[in-house]
Amino acid sequence: MNGKRHLLVTSAARKIPLLRAAIAAARKLSPEMQVLAGDIDPDAPAQYAADAFWAMPRTDDTALDALIAGCRERGIGFVLPTRDSELAFWARHKARFAREGIAVLVSPEESVTRCLDKLAFARFGQERGRPFIPAYEGLEDAGPPPYAVKERFGAGSRAIGLKLDAASAREHAKRLTAPIFQPFIEGTEISVDAWLDQDYRLKGLVLRRRDRVVDGESQVTTTFRDAAIEEAARTALEALQLCGPVVMQILIDRAGQPHIIECNSRFGGASTAGIAAGLDSLYWSLAEVAGHDVAALPFARISGEVRQVRLPADTHFILPE
């Protein structure tokens, strides 16, 4: 690596589609910009899809100086965090990295913290009259059954119990660290890929159905349009004061009404479908911190729709003799 300003994608793991999208965005901003895959696992498969690889220290406060030194050594000028559990660290130290000339593409700490805490997230939406699904610490506050029971913190699909009666909800909660209780709503879950500027103004969003989901991630997803859902998502996202690429989960009930489940303040696992539909979110993030007028860049949503199918593929490298 030379002294140019490169992009680091953290927790890269097996996120090959994300890395390829990041490389396309980086080259669009500057043909000389390189993309590093970063991960604490020295064997992370992502290293084979990036320009370079960094077996990084774990993102905790004790490693802050080592992370800054590592970024400077590698000519990194942009950091794109990709995993929920590291967002708080990067948001907390965003200003420190900025003083070192390193832009971290993450929302403000307060907004990130709110999205990571499902109870605080639900209360925030309810207090503002937005269609967030309410959440409670006690089952007695959650109204009549059936219920959804989940961890207050952590990934949305982890350890979740759905359509439970009162006894089952209490039993399920005993297996969780910090359970919360919600009314169970029958419906279809969709994802919203969106991008907001640093003043929390929505530039664009793309709705997509989750046609086939494996381990919480869409393996088959199809974009669609619905003006009412788009407006509900826009007002909620701007109220949350997020910036950069985000992905929101919404449940659409049988009457077609949206119920907001959660919002991840990062690029989503299948958000490359949004890019294919015209939401150039990674490029906009890089362009904004590089000082470009993002408002002048078009959101040219395609007139049709995108069906994204994630398939495994082999990659071959010819090794030296």
SS3 content of the chain, % helix, strand, coil (to 5): 35, 30, 40
User: What whole-number percentage of the chain has pLDDT above 90?
Assistant: 95
The rounded distance, in Å, linking the Cα atoms of 252 and 11 is 31
The rounded distance, in Å, linking the Cα atoms of 191 and 195 is 13
| Sign of the alpha-carbon dihedral angle for 118, 190, 205, 82 | positive
| 234 to 64, 126, 132, 143, 231: CA distances (angstroms) | 35, 16, 13, 28, 5
Helix (H) or strand (E) segment spanning residue 53: strand 52-55
Q: At what angle do helices 118-127 and 227-239 cross, to 10 degrees?
A: 110
- Written as one letter, the residue type at 2 is N
The rounded distance, in Å, linking the Cα atoms of 321 and 308 is 39
The rounded distance, in Å, linking the Cα atoms of 120 and 293 is 34
Helix (H) or strand (E) segment spanning residue 209: strand 202-214
And the tokens for 298? 């078009």
- Residue segments in the chain with a per-residue pLDDT below the cut of 70: 1-4, 155-158
- The order of strands in the sheet holding 202-214 is 258-264, 244-253, 187-196, 202-214, 217-224, 307-309
And the tokens for 35? 């993309």
And the tokens for 134? 């309410």
The rounded distance, in Å, linking the Cα atoms of 225 and 71 is 40
Helix (H) or strand (E) segment spanning residue 146: none
And the tokens for 53? 């690889």
Q: At what angle do helices 281-289 and 16-29 cross, to 10 degrees?
A: 40
pLDDT at res. 223: 98
* Cβ 95 vs Cβ 89: under 8 Å: no
> How far is C-alpha 105 from the geometric centre of its chain's CA atoms?
11
Selection from 60, 66, 56, 76 nearest residue 1 by Cα:
76
The rounded distance, in Å, linking the Cα atoms of 232 and 250 is 10
pLDDT at res. 216: 82
pLDDT at res. 4: 58
Cis peptide leading into residue 144 (ω within 30°)? no
Instruction: Convert the pLDDT of each residue in 114-164 to its tens digit.
Output: 999 999 999 999 999 999 999 999 999 999 999 999 999 976 566 899 999
And the tokens for 283? 């490029």
Residue 15: CB atoms within 10 A of its CB come to 23
